Amino acid sequence: MADLKKPAQAWDEFLAGFDWTVYDENTVPEDASIPRITYNWAESEIGTPVLLTASLWDRSRSWANVSRKADEMFEAIGYGGVTIPVQGGYMWVLRGTPFSQRMADPDDSIRRIVINIQAEFLRA
């Protein structure tokens, strides 16, 4: 059990599995590359759901690349969710509603999709 991650680190590593650079939204360097994933982090008591978001960022005139990444996340989480082992138990990650939403950006070459996630922390 000693090698299990704290929930925030496990969430970061889960998102990194989608092959884009990942940042907590509060720590994005000014020179951060795109495409990237940024996320917010929240934690709750055992058994209490929290809402998390991840933003997919791409520089393009097309939505194709960022939409493919959103589809990849949709499939990875699946209809029943996915569990991520963490210290003390696991995170049960489910698709939020709506799952994804396109967002405007002042820079018209930036494409951003926000992914909504429901996470619940459960004991093993």
| Domain definitions of the chain by residue range | 7-123
**Predicted TM-score (pTM) of this structure:** 0.92
Q: How does DSSP classify residue 101?
A: E
CATH of domain 7-123: 3.30.2000.10
Calpha distance 69→75 (Å, rounded): 10
Question: 61 vs 74, 95, 108, 111, 116, CA distance in Å?
Answer: 23, 27, 8, 8, 24
Q: What is the pLDDT along the chain (124 residues), one digit of tens a residue?
A: 457 899 999 999 999 999 999 999 999 999 999 999 999 999 888 888 999 999 999 999 999 999 999 999 999 999 999 999 999 899 999 999 999 999 999 999 999 999 999 999 998 7
